[in-house]
C-alpha cells in the first residue's frame, strides 16, 4: 500500500509541479495531528542543506526553515519550528513513541533509516575536514593518523563516517557546533569533520584555516517523517519532488549562499 501511495504522489508531482499532494482528511490526521505542522530543525553557527542558523532574536534561518515554511503554506496550516542542536537530537525527537515533530530534513544514513521513514533526497553533499590555523593536517588521507585530533558533532552522519574512515585519529563528538568552535579557540582541534557547505560557511570566521581537497564521505540530504506514517511519507515525497521541480529548493539554497546541486528527480540515497 505504501508503494502505491508513493507512486501516486510521484505521478501527481509530475502532473502538477507547482504544488504537492493535496492533503485529504486521512493524510492530515497523520501529517498534522495537532492541526499545526511541526518541523524539526537542526540549528548551529554554520549554514548547510541541513543546518539552519539561529538569529539574534532567537528565530532560525536556513534551507530547512524555508522548506518547512513552504510545506506549511501548501498545506494551509500554521507552522511550529522545533529548534534542536544536532541531527542526533532531531532524530531522537522524531523516533520516540509520541514524536515531537511531523516533518523534518536530514542527511541519510543506515542508523536513521532504521528509526525514521525517508523520502527523496533534495541535496547531494560531500564531507571533508577543515584544518584550523597551525594544524598539521594537510590531506584527507592524513586524518587517519595517530595523534590527529578530529572534532565533529555527536550523532551525525559526518562524525560517524570520519570515525570509520580515520580510525587512527582521536575523535571528539561535541554536543553542538558551538562547542567545536570553542575547542578550536582553545587550540584543541586539528580537523573539523563537517559537510563542505558548512565548512565554507565557517571558513571566513577562522583566519588561517584551510578546507582540505577531496572528501571522506558523500551522501544525500532528504525529507523525513516519523515511522509508520505512510500517508505522511507520500505527501512528503510529492512535496519535495515538486519543490525541486518548481525551483523552491534551489531558491532556499541560494538564499543561504549554498551553491551545491539540487538532487535529481527521484534521487534516493541507498537504503532510504
pLDDT tens sequence across 155-200:
888 999 999 999 999 999 999 999 999 999 999 999 999 998 889 9
* Residue 259 cell numbers, joined: 551553491
Residue 28 sits in the same domain as residue 119: yes
pLDDT of amino acid 241:
97
Q: Which of 197, 217, 237 is the last residue of a domain?
A: 217
Domain that holds residue 161: 126-217
Same domain, 7 and 108: yes
To the question of pTM greater than 0.85 for the whole model, the response is no
Domain co-membership, 25 together with 112:
yes
Per residue, the 3-state secondary structure of 95-107, as one string, reads: HCCCCCCCEEEEE
Q: Are residues 48 and 112 in the same domain?
A: yes
Same domain flag for 233 and 160: no
Q: Does 241 map to a domain?
A: yes
Lowest pLDDT segment from 97-106, 119-128, 257-266: 257-266
Which of 188, 217, 246 terminates a domain? The answer is 217
pLDDT, position 22: 73
Please compute the mean of the pLDDT values over residues 92-103 and round it to a whole number. Answer: 98
Do 94 and 155 reside in the same domain of the chain? no
Residues 6+ apart with CB under 8 A from 66: 248, 251, 252, 255
Residue 165: C-alpha distances to residues 52, 144, 145, 161, 192 (Å): 27, 7, 11, 6, 14
**Angle separating helix axes 248-255 and 230-245, nearest 10 degrees:** 70
What is the pLDDT, as a whole number, of residue 271? 63
pLDDT band per the 50, 70, 90 thresholds, residue 4 = very low
Please indicate, yes or no, whether residues 228 and 173 belong to a single structural domain of this protein.
Answer: no
263 within a domain of the structure (yes/no): no
Residue-wise over 50-59: b if at least 16 C-beta within 10 A, else e? bbbbbeeeee
Q: H or E segment at 21?
A: none
Does residue 11 carry a pLDDT above 80? no
Same domain, 12 and 114: yes
Question: Does 161 share its domain with 241?
Answer: no
Mean pLDDT of the chain: 91
Three-point CA angle 114, 119, 123, nearest 5°: 110
Both 71 and 104 in one domain: the answer is: yes
Q: What is the pLDDT of residue 230?
A: 97
Burial class of residue 185 in the structure, from the number of CB atoms within 10 Å of its CB (0-12 exposed, 13-18 middle, 19+ buried): exposed
Judged against a pLDDT cut of 60, whether residue 7 lies above it is answered with no
**Beta strands in 4-162, from DSSP E residues, in sequence order:** 37-44, 52-54, 60-61, 79-84, 103-107, 116-131, 149-153
Decide if pLDDT at 272 tops 80.
Answer: no
Domain check: are 182 and 101 in the same one? no
What CATH number is attached to the domain comprising 38? 3.40.190.10
Is the residue at 26 inside a domain? yes
Residue 264 lies in a domain: no
pLDDT reported for residue 21? 59
Place of cell 582553545: 186
30 within some domain = yes
Is position 173 within any domain? yes
Q: What's the confidence (pLDDT) of residue 45? A: 83
What count of other Cβ atoms lies within 10 Å of the Cβ of residue 203?
14
Predicted pLDDT at 12 = 42
121 and 183 within one domain: no
Looking from the CA of 159 toward its CB, the CA atoms found within 13 Å total 21
Residue 6's pLDDT band, with cuts at 50, 70 and 90, is: very low
CA 53 to each of CA 45, 83, 141, 254: distance values in angstroms, whole numbers, following the listed order: 6, 10, 31, 15
Per-residue pLDDT at 124: 87
* Total domains present in the chain: 2
Residue 109's pLDDT is: 87
- For cell 570553542, the residue is 182
User: Which letter, b or e, does each residue of 238-251 get, where b requires 16 or more Cβ atoms within 10 Å of its Cβ?
Assistant: bbbbbbbbbebbee
pLDDT of residue 15: 41
Q: Tell me the CA end-to-end span of the chain in Å, nearest whole number.
A: 17
Q: Indicate the pLDDT class of residue 219, thresholds 50, 70 and 90.
A: confident
In a domain, 105, yes or no: yes
Whether 251 maps to a domain, the answer reads yes
Amino acid at each position: 500500500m505504501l508503494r502505491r501511495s508513493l507512486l501516486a504522489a510521484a505521478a501527481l508531482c509530475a502532473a502538477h509541479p507547482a504544488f504537492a499532494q493535496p492533503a485529504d482528511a486521512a493524510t492530515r490526521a497523520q501529517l498534522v495531528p495537532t492541526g499545526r505542522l511541526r518541523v524539526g530543525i537542526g540549528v548551529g553557527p554554520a549554514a548547510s542543506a541541513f543546518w539552519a542558523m539561529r538569529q539574534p532574536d532567537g528565530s532560525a534561518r536556513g534551507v530547512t526553515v524555508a522548506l518547512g515554511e513552504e510545506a506549511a503554506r501548501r498545506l494551509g496550516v500554521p507552522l511550529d519550528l522545533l529548534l534542536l542542536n544536532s541531527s542526533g537530537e532531531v532524530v531522537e525527537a522524531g523516533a520516540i513513541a509520541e514524536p515531537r515533530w511531523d516533518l523534518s530534513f536530514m542527511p541519510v544514513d543506515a542508523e536513521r533509516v532504521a528509526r525514521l521513514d525517508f523520502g527523496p533526497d533534495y541535496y547531494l553533499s560531500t564531507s571533508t575536514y577543515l584544518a584550523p590555523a597551525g594544524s598539521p593536517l594537510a590531506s584527507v588521507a592524513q586524518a587517519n593518523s595517530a595523534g590527529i585530533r578530529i572534532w565533529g558533532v555527536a550523532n551525525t552522519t559526518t562524525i560517524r563516517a570520519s570515525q570509520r574512515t580515520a580510525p587512527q585519529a582521536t575523535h571528539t563528538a561535541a554536543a553542538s557546533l558551538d562547542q567545536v568552535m570553542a575547542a578550536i579557540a582553545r587550540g584543541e582541534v586539528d580537523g573539523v569533520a563537517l559537510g563542505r557547505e558548512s565548512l565554507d560557511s565557517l571558513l571566513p570566521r577562522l583566519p588561517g584555516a584551510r578546507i582540505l581537497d577531496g572528501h571522506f564521505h558523500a551522501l544525500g540530504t532528504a525529507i523525513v517523517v516519523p515511522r509508520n506514517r505512510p500517508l505522511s511519507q507520500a505527501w512528503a515525497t510529492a512535496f519535495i519532488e515538486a519543490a525541486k521541480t518548481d525551483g523552491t529548493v534551489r531558491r532556499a539554497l541560494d538564499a543561504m549562499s549554498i551553491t551545491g546541486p539540487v538532487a535529481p528527480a527521484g534521487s534516493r540515497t541507498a537504503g532510504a
